[in-house]
Amino acid sequence: MSARRPFMLRSLGLGLALAGVSQGSAAQSPAPIRILVGAPAGGTTDTMARALATEMGRALGRNVVVENRPGAGGNIAAESVARAPADGQTLLMSFTSHAINASLYPTLPFDPEKDFTPLTMVSTSPAILVAHPSVPANTLSELIALAKAKPGRLNFAIGALGSSVHLAGEAFKMQSGAFIVNIPYRGTAPAVQDVLAGQVDLMFANVGNVQAHLKAGKLKALGVTSPKRLASLPEVPAIAELLPGYESSAWFGLFGPGRMAPELTRRLSDAARQAVASPEVSKRIAHEGATPVGNSPQEFAAFVNSEISRWAKVVTYSGAKPE
C-alpha cells in the first residue's frame, strides 16, 4: 500500500462523516443526531436542548432528537457520550454539574475534560439569594452580621445536594465567613415552598423559579450571583459588590465525544451557535431566566477547565457529597 493511501482513506472517512452531519444521502435518510440530556423531561436543560435541536436540525439539514437519561447528577448521559464514537452522531447537553462532578464524585467512569469535545456554551443563568420576609435582614451586610452574631440560627433550603445553587450557598459562606445551616430537599419546588411558608429562612434559586414570588412580595431578594446586577432586577445588588470576586452562575453547554475531528467540531459548533442566535432559541432561553452565549469551542473549553478548578475549591470547603 502506498504512503498516500492511508491518508486518503482517513480523508475519505472524515468526508463521509461530515456529509452525514450536513446533509445525508438522497437514497437513504441517515439516522438522526442524538442530543443526550442528563436531566428529566420538562426541566430547564431539557427545554433548552429541545429548542436547540430543532434549530440545529434546520442548519444541518438533518433530524436532531433529544433523549433524556437522567440520574447521578448528569453522569449517566455523560458516560454514554464519552463512550460514543467521535462521529458527531451522539452529543451531550450538559450543565454546571459537568464541572462540579469532577470533584464531587470520588471516581467517575470518564474524564470530564479529555473524554469530551466542547462545542459551545448555550446559556448562563445566575441565581438569586432570597429570604422569607420574616428574616430580620434586608441587605447582604445585615444578613452576614446576623449570621455571625447567631451562628447556626439561619438556614438555607437546598434543592439538590451538589447542584450549582447548593454550591452558590457554600461559596457565599466560604467568602463571608458566615455559618448557615443547610436543609436539603429532593427538588427545587419543595424547597421553594418551605421558604415561602417560612419553614426555612433562605435559598439560592434560579431567577425564573422565584421571580413571580418576588413580585408578589412573598419573598425578598438580597443579592444576585452574577458579577454585575441584572437588567431585569436592577434594584438587587450583585453579591460581588460586598464580596469581591464572588460569582456563581449555572451554565448549559453542548459537548461531543472526545477526539472529534476539527472540521466536524467546527461544523457542529457553527450549527449550534447559529441555533443559539436564532429568535426562537433566544426567546426560550430568556423565558428560562437565562442569557444566550454561543461561544467558540476554544472559549468554551477554556471556561470548562476553569470551572472544574473553581468548583473543586468550593466542594472541598463544603465537604459536599453526591446524593
Percentages (nearest 5) of helix, strand, coil residues in the chain: 45, 20, 35
What pLDDT is recorded for position 25?
43
Burial 189-210 (b: 16+ CB within 10 A, else e): eebbebbbeeebbbbbbbbebb
Cα–Cα separations (whole angstroms), residue 252 to 38, 45, 49, 174, 300: 12, 7, 9, 25, 11
Q: Do domains 13-125+250-318 and 127-241 have the same CATH topology?
A: yes
State in Å, rounded, how far the first CA of the chain is from the last one.
55
What pLDDT is recorded for position 12?
42
What pLDDT is recorded for position 3?
45
Helices 97-104 and 164-176, axial angle in degrees (round to 10): 70
Residues β-bridged to residue 252? 95, 123
Q: Which CATH architecture has domain 127-241?
A: 3-Layer(aba) Sandwich (3.40)
Strands (E), the chain: 33-37, 64-68, 90-95, 116-131, 155-158, 181-184, 202-206, 220-224, 249-257, 291-292
- Prediction pTM value: 0.80
Q: Which of 120, 127, 112 minimizes the C-alpha distance to 166?
A: 127
Q: How far apart are CA 173 and CA 221, in angstroms?
A: 17
3-state SS assignment for residue 27: coil
Please give the single-letter amino acid code of residue 33: I
Spans of the chain below 70 pLDDT: 1-28, 323
Q: Which of 298, 257, 294 minimizes the C-alpha distance to 121?
A: 294
CATH superfamily of the domain spanning 13-125+250-318: Bordetella uptake gene, domain 1 (3.40.190.150)
- DSSP track, 93-138: EEETHHHHHHHHSS--SS-TTTTEEEEEEEEEEEEEEEE-TTSS-S
Residue 235: Cβ within 10 Å count: 7
Domain boundaries of the chain, sorted by first residue: 13-125+250-318, 127-241
DSSP 201: -
